[in-house]
């Protein structure tokens, strides 16, 4: 049912490769050597396009178009006679770009299948469209900016360069986090001063992200891919291992990328908000979405859920709005029915969660320790199961995997291939319960130790990192 | 069913992660210069330490390490091994799947030319990986065995295929950023690869210069920093397995049609070609090879294994014209010489024999080698 996922990022600049280190090694010192933001901002503007053009220089024009639409659109919204019409026009144009590049083939293919199932013989074929890396992220940012200007929560940016720096800021250009205009644009108005504490904090975050991505996620990718490639050939225990591995892999991959992006932004003196907050500690689906991909869930809440009516109407409307939001959130992840199913399942789970929260039993059990454990396990089970359609090659594979998992209790526990269980479990436990738990209260303050730990950690990371090309999972979105 | 590998070393990066999350700047602002000095000192110290550790200890499960471990054992399993000639077969997948070195030893003995046959072959390798495998083998020998090898009579036979000069960038990129490429592109080998590529650039300035330079520099750096040496998260010591250098293939490739391939090949064989001799990189590659093994090797030869692919046979012919003086070139096999091997069940595809065909290919090569060896084979 679902075709192979395109390798979109094969030539993109990846944070964990030498080209990026060279790029950073050139841009960063030059940036801080320049006397003021008057020079630094144009440098960042150019650096953004070089970074994006490294993947495919032709798409720098697309990015430039998005910036231009935002620039002139916001001007029209702020000064024009009919701001609403201009907003719709600009947002419509952005969504049309997204729709063409990301969804045209998907809907054409779906329509072709539907027509064929009705006995018709459709003649149209797939278009040869290359999906620009990160288009979903910068288009969402562009919409956030235009809507914010329309609502009056953000002042129109009068400088094309500053707007270009915001929309195309290279650390988060291709895989987020999605930065709201109100968070970033004000930073462009204040003078950047080199702060060694922020600078070192940037390296520390980058190093943590490097471990998440290159050591944990990438080393899990091989065994996980092998199992998801042909789940019917594996025993229930191995299939469970593959699912557990992906549960960890997707978190470490995306949280790692986000941390590296935040760290690189810190190196340039900018701050990006956290995108993950130990989501596997969540004890409800609502809480999970407050901790997972925070920038997307906030965007969906502000620009989709609330405009749909949010929780202002009757309960059934709240549930409907939740479902629509998550359905579209699933579709945002990719032109693939598996993602739609994943989003819909989360929409359903959120609705059930909201319905439960309104009951007397929920109020009675709130804070009860035993209930918290049950709620935690139930939440993580839902999240775990929802990742299966997200990662599977097809609905058929999803069915096979679920049936294999159902056999877990009734068959001999035997793995069909060696699986790195400790790699799948220990980093997750460490991140969720040590770093995200008691570890948050620990802090050793020493500059000398900071330097040494950073250097040693990078070295250990190199020794343990996966060799080979492993793009960030979220590049494809 | 083997138990899952104990990936216990994951605890090391986890501890490093915990240290990273717990550490914060002191009460005074950190000094970036001091931080970079510490990083430089730690990385510099590591590089010094690294230079003392051979690759096969850092990547003990790499294909080269496993194969050379088998070769070491095979060479020295008899105490008087150095009194017999040693044949080096240095090739790629065709030799790996098609030539059984132990069978060849028996056949050489039957023909009155007993020898120890060492097959340095890996599927998909290129010239620089061959060099690396030979280096690793020689480095792994005990000093006294190296001395004995230098005194023994050693015959080198290299498989002829286009890894010497065709699409060198493609061949490098094929394995780029894999463990294989990180290993064989250590700095000296990367420099050799660039040296050979420069000759090509002199002939064809449109060949991409920056891409090759970037690729080689990146891999040389990855090699020096031992990138991914512990990515398996498993403890290393004494875990190097010995892998024999012969893997017979079962069955025939599903996309291969023997009759069609044979017809196309016979059409090719009937036409005359005026292809030029191989370009300069070939000579540079052979110089690299000779510089490495000349202290040990007494006789050089090359062999083109039987093939049904016209391009390979053509290259074999061109290679024979450009081969260094004094080196024997066996093949390419055409016409009636190929006849005994023309059975569908012998061919996995147009290049590789099946497990059924391998003994016949081995017999053919053993016979050809005996006919090219100098009359005296005593040390």
Confidence tier at B237 by pLDDT (50, 70, 90): low
Q: Taking 90 as the threshold, does the pLDDT of residue B240 lie above it? A: no
What is the number of other CB atoms lying within 10 angstroms of the CB of residue A299? 24
CATH superfamily of B57-164+241-372: SGNH hydrolase (3.40.50.1110)
Residue written as token pair 């002139």: A72
Question: What pLDDT was estimated at residue A197?
Answer: 93
Confidence tier at B70 by pLDDT (50, 70, 90): very high
pLDDT tens per residue, range A330-343: 888 877 788 889 99
Residues from chain B contacting residue A412 (CB–CB below 8 Å):
none
pTM: 0.87
Please state, for a pLDDT cut of 70, what percent of chain A lies above it. 91
CB A14 within 8 A of CB A20: yes
Over range B315-339, report the average pLDDT: 80
What does the radius of gyration of chain B's CA atoms come to, in whole angstroms? Answer: 24
User: A19–B12: do the CB atoms touch at under 8 Å?
Assistant: no
Closest CA to B31 of A84, A286, A11, A194: A194
Over range A48-64, report the average pLDDT: 84
Residues from chain A contacting residue B38 (CB–CB below 8 Å):
448, 451-452, 454-455
Over range A18-27, report the average pLDDT: 88
Q: Is residue A280 classed exposed, middle or buried when 0-12, 13-18 and 19+ CB atoms within 10 A define those classes? A: buried
Confidence tier at A470 by pLDDT (50, 70, 90): low
Over range A154-166, report the average pLDDT: 90
**In chain B, where are the structural domains located?**
57-164+241-372
Over range B249-276, report the average pLDDT: 82
Mutate to test the interface with A, among B15, B25, B221 (most CBs of A within 10 A): B25
Residues 230-259 of B with CB under 8 A from A: 230-231, 233
Residues from chain A contacting residue B176 (CB–CB below 8 Å):
469
Nearest-Cα distance to chain B for A190, in Å, is 21
pLDDT tens per residue, range A124-134: 666 666 667 78
Question: What pLDDT was estimated at residue A7?
Answer: 40
**B64 in reach of chain A (CB within 8 A):** no
- The interface pTM score, or ipTM, of the predicted complex is 0.86
User: Cα–Cα distance between A37 and A189 in angstroms, integer?
Assistant: 9
Residues from chain B contacting residue A455 (CB–CB below 8 Å):
38-39, 41-43
User: B14–A456: do the CB atoms touch at under 8 Å?
Assistant: no
Which helix (H) or strand (E) segment holds residue B120: the answer is: strand B116-121
What is the number of other CB atoms lying within 10 angstroms of the CB of residue B371? 10
Angle at A325 between CA A319 and CA A329, to 5 degrees: 140
User: Cα–Cα distance between A18 and A11 in angstroms, integer?
Assistant: 13
Confidence tier at A110 by pLDDT (50, 70, 90): confident
Confidence tier at A233 by pLDDT (50, 70, 90): confident
User: Cα–Cα distance between A226 and A399 in angstroms, integer?
Assistant: 17
Answer with the residue of higher pLDDT: A410 or A171.
A171
Residues from chain B contacting residue A256 (CB–CB below 8 Å):
none
How many alpha carbons lie under 13 Å from residue B72 in its C-beta half-sphere? 23
User: Cα–Cα distance between B199 and B196 in angstroms, integer?
Assistant: 6
Q: B292-331 b/e with 16+ CB inside 10 Å = b?
A: bbeebbebbbbbbbbbbbbebbebbbbbbebbeeebbbbb
Q: Taking 60 as the threshold, does the pLDDT of residue A6 lie above it? A: no
- Could you tell me the two tokens for B78? 């008899």
pLDDT tens per residue, range A347-375: 999 999 988 888 888 788 887 888 889 99
In this complex, the residue of A439, A447, A455 whose CB is nearest that of residue B42 is A455
User: Cα–Cα distance between A93 and A66 in angstroms, integer?
Assistant: 9
Question: What pLDDT was estimated at residue A129?
Answer: 66
pLDDT tens per residue, range B31-57: 999 999 999 999 999 999 999 998 888
In this complex, the residue of B4, B29, B231 whose CB is nearest that of residue A419 is B4
Please state, for a pLDDT cut of 70, what percent of chain B lies above it. 93
pLDDT tens per residue, range B206-226: 888 888 898 899 999 999 999
Over range A178-190, report the average pLDDT: 88
CB A400 within 8 A of CB A224: no
Over range A184-212, report the average pLDDT: 92
Q: Taking 60 as the threshold, does the pLDDT of residue B119 lie above it? A: yes
**B226 in reach of chain A (CB within 8 A):** yes
Please state, for a pLDDT cut of 90, what percent of chain B lies above it. 46
C-alpha distances (whole Å) from A392 to each of A118, A221, A240, A333, B283 are 27, 14, 13, 14, 51
Q: Taking 90 as the threshold, does the pLDDT of residue A108 lie above it? A: no
Which residues touch A205 (CB under 8 Å, ≥6 apart)? A259, A260, A262, A263, A266
Question: What pLDDT was estimated at residue A37?
Answer: 84
User: B32–A197: do the CB atoms touch at under 8 Å?
Assistant: no
How much is the mean pLDDT over chain A?
85
User: B27–A18: do the CB atoms touch at under 8 Å?
Assistant: no
Residues 258-317 of B with CB under 8 A from A: none
Secondary structure letter of residue B353 according to DSSP: B
pLDDT tens per residue, range A33-46: 998 888 999 999 99
Q: Taking 60 as the threshold, does the pLDDT of residue A477 lie above it? A: no
Which residues touch B143 (CB under 8 Å, ≥6 apart)? none
Q: How far apart are the first and last CA of chain A?
A: 19
Residue in chain A lying closest to B34 (CA): A451
Residue written as token pair 């997750």: A428
Q: Taking 70 as the threshold, does the pLDDT of residue A152 lie above it? A: yes
How much is the mean pLDDT over chain B?
87
Question: What pLDDT was estimated at residue A4?
Answer: 33
CB pairs under 8 A between A and B: 178
Question: What pLDDT was estimated at residue A471?
Answer: 54
Confidence tier at A316 by pLDDT (50, 70, 90): confident
> Which residues of A are identified as catalytic?
333
pLDDT tens per residue, range B156-177: 999 987 666 667 777 787 777 7
Question: What pLDDT was estimated at residue B1?
Answer: 45
Residues from chain A contacting residue B19 (CB–CB below 8 Å):
453, 456-457
Question: What pLDDT was estimated at residue A473?
Answer: 57
Q: Taking 90 as the threshold, does the pLDDT of residue B76 lie above it? A: yes
Question: What pLDDT was estimated at residue B166?
Answer: 64
pLDDT tens per residue, range B185-206: 999 999 999 988 888 888 888 8
């Amino acid at each position: 049912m679902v075709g192979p996922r395109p390798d979109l990022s094969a030539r993109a600049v990846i944070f964990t490769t030498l080209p990026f280190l060279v790029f950073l090694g050139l841009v960063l010192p030059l940036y801080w050597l320049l006397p003021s933001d008057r020079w630094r901002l144009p440098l960042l503007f150019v650096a953004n396009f070089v970074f994006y053009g490294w993947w495919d220089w032709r798409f720098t024009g697309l990015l430039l178009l998005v910036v231009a639409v935002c620039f002139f659109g916001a001007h029209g919204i702020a000064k024009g006679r009919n701001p609403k019409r201009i907003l719709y026009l600009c947002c419509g144009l952005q969504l049309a770009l997204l729709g063409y590049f990301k969804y045209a083939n998907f809907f054409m293919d779906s329509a072709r299948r539907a027509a064929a199932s009705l006995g018709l013989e459709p003649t149209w074929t797939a278009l040869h469209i290359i999906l620009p890396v990160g288009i979903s992220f910068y288009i969402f940012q562009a919409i956030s900016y235009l809507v914010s200007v329309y609502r009056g929560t953000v002042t129109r940016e009068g400088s094309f360069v500053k707007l270009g720096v915001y929309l195309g800021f290279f650390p988060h250009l291709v895989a987020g986090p999605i930065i709201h205009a109100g968070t970033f644009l004000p930073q462009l108005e204040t003078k950047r001063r080199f702060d060694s504490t922020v600078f070192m904090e940037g390296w520390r975050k980058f190093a943590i992200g490097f471990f998440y991505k290159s050591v944990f996620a990438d080393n899990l990718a091989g065994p996980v891919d092998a199992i998801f490639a042909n789940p019917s050939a594996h025993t229930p225990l191995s299939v469970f291992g593959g699912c557990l591995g992906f549960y960890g892999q997707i978190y470490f991959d995306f949280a790692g990328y986000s941390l590296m992006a935040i760290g690189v932004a810190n190196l340039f003196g900018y701050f990006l908000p956290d995108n993950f907050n130990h989501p596997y500690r969540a004890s409800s689906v609502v809480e999970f979405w407050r901790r997972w991909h925070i920038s997307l869930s906030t965007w969906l809440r502000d620009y989709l859920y609330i405009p749909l009516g949010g929780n202002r109407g009757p309960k059934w409307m709240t549930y409907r709005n939740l479902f629509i939001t998550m359905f579209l959130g699933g579709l945002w992840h990719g032109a693939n029915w598996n993602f739609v199913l994943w989003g819909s399942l989360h929409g359903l789970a959120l609705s059930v969660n909201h319905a439960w929260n309104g009951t007397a039993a929920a109020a009675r059990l709130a804070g009860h320790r035993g209930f918290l454990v049950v709620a935690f396990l139930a939440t993580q089970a839902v999240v775990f199961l929802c990742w299966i359609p997200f990662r599977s090659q097809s609905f058929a594979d999803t069915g096979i995997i679920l049936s294999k998992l159902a056999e877990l209790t009734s068959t001999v526990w035997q793995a069909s291939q060696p699986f790195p269980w400790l790699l799948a479990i220990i980093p997750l436990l460490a991140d969720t319960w040590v770093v995200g738990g008691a570890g948050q209260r620990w802090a050793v303050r020493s500059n000398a130790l900071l330097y040494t730990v950073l250097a040693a950690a990078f070295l250990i990371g190199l020794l343990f990192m996966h060799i080979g090309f492993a793009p960030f999972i979220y590049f494809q979105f | 069913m083997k138990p899952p590998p104990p990936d216990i070393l994951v605890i090391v990066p986890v501890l490093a992660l915990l240290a990273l999350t717990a550490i914060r700047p002191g009460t005074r602002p950190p000094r970036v210069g001091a931080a970079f000095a510490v990083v430089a000192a730690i990385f510099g110290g590591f590089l010094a330490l690294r230079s003392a550790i051979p690759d096969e200890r850092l990547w003990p499960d790499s294909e080269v390490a496993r194969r050379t471990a088998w070769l070491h054992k095979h060479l020295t399993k008899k105490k008087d091994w150095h009194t017999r000639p040693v044949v080096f077969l240095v090739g790629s997948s065709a030799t790996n799947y098609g030539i059984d070195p132990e069978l060849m030893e028996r056949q050489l003995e039957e023909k009155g030319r007993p020898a120890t046959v060492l097959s340095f072959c890996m599927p998909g390798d290129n010239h620089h990986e061959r060099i690396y495998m030979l280096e690793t083998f020689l480095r792994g020998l005990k000093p006294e065995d190296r001395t004995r090898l230098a005194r023994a009579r050693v015959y080198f036979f290299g498989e002829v295929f286009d890894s010497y000069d065709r699409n060198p960038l493609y061949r490098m990129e094929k394995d780029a950023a894999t463990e294989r490429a990180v290993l064989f592109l250590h700095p000296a080998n990367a420099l050799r690869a660039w040296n050979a590529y420069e000759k090509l650039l002199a002939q064809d300035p449109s060949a991409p210069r920056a891409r090759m330079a970037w690729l080689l520099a990146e891999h040389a750096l990855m090699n020096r920093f031992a990138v991914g040496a512990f990515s398996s998260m498993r403890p290393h010591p004494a875990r190097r397995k010995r892998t024999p250098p012969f893997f017979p293939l079962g069955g025939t490739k599903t996309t291969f049609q023997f009759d069609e391939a044979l017809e196309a090949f016979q059409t090719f064989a009937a036409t005359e070609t005026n292809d030029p001799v191989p370009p300069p990189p070939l000579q540079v590659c052979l110089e690299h090879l000779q510089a490495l093994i000349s202290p040990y090797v007494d006789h050089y030869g090359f062999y083109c294994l039987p093939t049904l692919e016209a391009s390979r046979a053509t290259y074999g012919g061109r290679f024979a014209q450009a081969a260094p003086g004094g080196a024997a070139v066996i093949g390419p096999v055409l016409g009636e010489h190929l006849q005994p091997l023309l059975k569908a069940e012998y061919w996995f595809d147009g290049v590789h024999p099946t497990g059924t065909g391998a003994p016949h290919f081995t017999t053919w090569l053993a016979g050809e080698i005996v006919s090219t060896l100098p009359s005296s084979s005593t040390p």
